[in-house]
Amino acid sequence: MLKKVVVLTLSAFLVGGMLLGSDAFSYLRTFGGQVREAVKSEISVEFELDRIRGEVDNLVPEIRRHMTIVAEQSVDVKDLERGLTEKEASLGKQKDAILALRSDLESNHDSFTYRSVAYTRSEVESDLAHRFEAFCSAEAGIKRDRQILTAQRDTLHANQKKLDTMLSRKQDLIVKVAQLEARLKQVQAAEAINSIEIDDSHLAHVEKMIRDMNHALDVRESVLETEGNVLGRIPVNEEVVPSNGNIIGEIDSHFGLTDVKAVAETGPQPSI
């Protein structure tokens, strides 16, 4: 399978070189860049956020490895400090013994007794020389140990600082990822609201139904009022037409009956 891929790739390069000449690599780079941009443009924001979250999670093993290194160095520093303390205490005892023998040799005695054992002056001088040589060697070793301890302390301090920086930056990344998630949810909510489409035709249809219902109720109310008038019901709501006041008087005035009626009512006058 791998052989076929290699062969096809070499064939594509050869054909491209034959057709495009020296510009073949330029065309290939441009095509590759366009393909890369096209692929990136098709990647969703949600997928990219998941990828970022995964990268943040991948920092955990590296941080744990660094924490292990710092812990080991911290133990090494403590061991060096403890060992250096013990060596310095031993060196102090050696110094006291050397100074004691030196003081004895200043007395000009030919022999010396230590713990019921007698030693000649030459034996004490030889022992003092060996003790001083061992003391100088131990003193040099302690000096080297101090230098090593200082270097390890500096390394431990630098690694602790680096670890603190890594932890702080990781926490910042977690906060930023949470902020991205919140922004994404806000955008998704806004997109969901904007995607809601209201059917105006349906609203218009419902409004027409309401108008038709009101018209039908108006017709039924009108029918009921008509039926009430036909059956002789008292038209409570109708206006009362004012009646003409003195219709008889108007007729008498029109036909000149007012004077005749007045004479008749008066009768013959009595004679004087």
Q: Please state, in angstroms and rounded to a whole number, the distance separating the CA atoms of residues 134 and 152.
A: 27
Q: Is 214 exposed, middle or buried (0-12, 13-18, 19+ CB in 10 A)?
A: exposed
Checking if the pLDDT of 245 tops 80, the result is: no
pLDDT, tens digit, 9 for 90 and up, residues 85-109? 999 999 999 999 999 999 998 888 8
DSSP string, 62-109: HHHHHHHHHHHHHHHHHHHHHHHHHHHHHHHHHHHHHHHHHHHHTT--
The total number of residues written for the chain in this structure = 272
Q: What percent of the chain has pLDDT over 70?
A: 70
Condensed to tens digits (0 to 9), the pLDDT of residues 53-73 reads: 888 888 889 899 999 999 999
Structure tokens at 172: 């910042």
C-alpha–C-alpha distance, residues 139 and 177, integer Å = 57
The mean pLDDT of the chain is: 79
Helices 121-194 & 45-105 angle (0-180, nearest 10): 170
Q: What stretch of H or E contains 247?
A: helix 247-255
With 0.75 as the threshold, say if the pTM is over it: no
What is the share, in percent, of the chain residues with pLDDT greater than 90?
36
- Going from N- to C-terminal start, the domains of the chain cover 11-42, 56-170
Chain centre distance of CA 145: 50
For 154-202, the pLDDT digits (tens) are 999 999 999 999 999 999 999 998 898 898 888 888 888 876 666 667 7
Mean pLDDT, residues 11-25: 58
Determine the angle formed by the axes of helices 257-266 and 247-255, rounding to 10 degrees. 100
Asked if the 56-170 domain carries CATH number 1.10.287, the reply is yes
